[in-house]
Structure 1
Amino acid sequence: MFPIRLTWQALATFASPRVSFAHTDPEQLHQVLAEQAAAANREAAEHATSAAAWNVDELHVQPGLLEVRRDILADVHYLEGLLIGARRRGLDRELIERLAAAVDTGHELTVLLADTALTTITAAHTAGH
């Protein structure tokens, strides 16, 4: 990669979390995917430690669930925009099918998270909180 492209990618990251560059080389894309997974894995230990310290009862879990659901809803709406654009432009059928599946899965996840958040209330009442 050229240094100027790295500079532009760094600037794009600060400007907007949605701005990125398309990759035409599968190896480059695999590298980006691996870097994303590695970064998430590094943060996982911190999240687990924080969760163990802060989530002392059912109601303490709820704010985290709501935060995650909010973020996923925003991402699902973004994915819906990508899907609408792909359909309007008649892009590859497999791409459209995979985007549609991602959107559906995202919606299912937001429903599951909402149900889980509601469970924190019923579980707290059962536990006598």
Structure 2
Amino acid sequence: MEPPREATVPLTRRSLMDAAARFGWRRAYGTTTEVDALLTEQSETAYREAADHAALATAKNTDALAVQPGVLDARGRIFADVLYLEGVLTGARTRGLPSEVIERLEDVVDHGHELTVLLADAVRSTAAAHASSGN
């Protein structure tokens, strides 16, 4: 008998699984009390980490080009997440989920696309500022 083979998950699939975990797909919460507790925990964690980010950014972001990589990375992650959420929205529509759920997902996807455009503009502005400074 052949030994069991180790399951390999392609990188793209792992990325989607990681994304799903970030959005709570590993576990669903059946009450608004549970959801509110999770949202509060996420917010508290983000705000705790934000203080560290601000201190590091203040030390590192000495000119426009220093800002660019972080903004570009954030745009890439957000864009990937928005595309993932478009798939969630498609699935919600296909399965006939409640209209309020679909409407909220539409709002999120629309806002996410707007955010990626704003972030792209911010990245462009870093290059323009660098070019206009004569560097």
Instruction: Name the TM-score class by shorter chain.
Output: 0.7 to 0.9
- Segments of 5+ residues of structure 1 without an aligned counterpart are 1-14
Q: How many residues align?
A: 115
Where does residue 106 of structure 2 map in the other structure?
100
Where does residue 70 of structure 1 map in the other structure?
76
Where does residue 18 of structure 1 map in the other structure?
20
Where does residue 60 of structure 2 map in the other structure?
54
Q: Secondary structure at the match of 1:38?
A: helix
Q: Could you tell me the percent identity over the aligned residues?
A: 50
Runs of 4+ residues deviating >3 angstroms: none
Q: Secondary structure at the match of 1:16?
A: helix
Find 1:84's aligned residue among 67, 82, 90: 90
Structure with the bigger percentage of helix:
1
Q: 2:79 & 2:18 partners in 1: Cα distance?
A: 18
Q: 2:124 & 2:133 partners in 1: Cα distance?
A: 14
Q: So what's the TM-score if we normalise by structure 2?
A: 0.81
Give the counterpart letter for 1:34 in structure 2. Answer: T
RMSD after superposition: 1.2
Q: So what's the TM-score if we normalise by structure 1?
A: 0.85
Where does residue 122 of structure 1 map in the other structure?
128
The CA deviation string for residues 51-83 of structure 1, in whole angstroms up to 9 with x for no partner, is 101110001000001100010011101110110
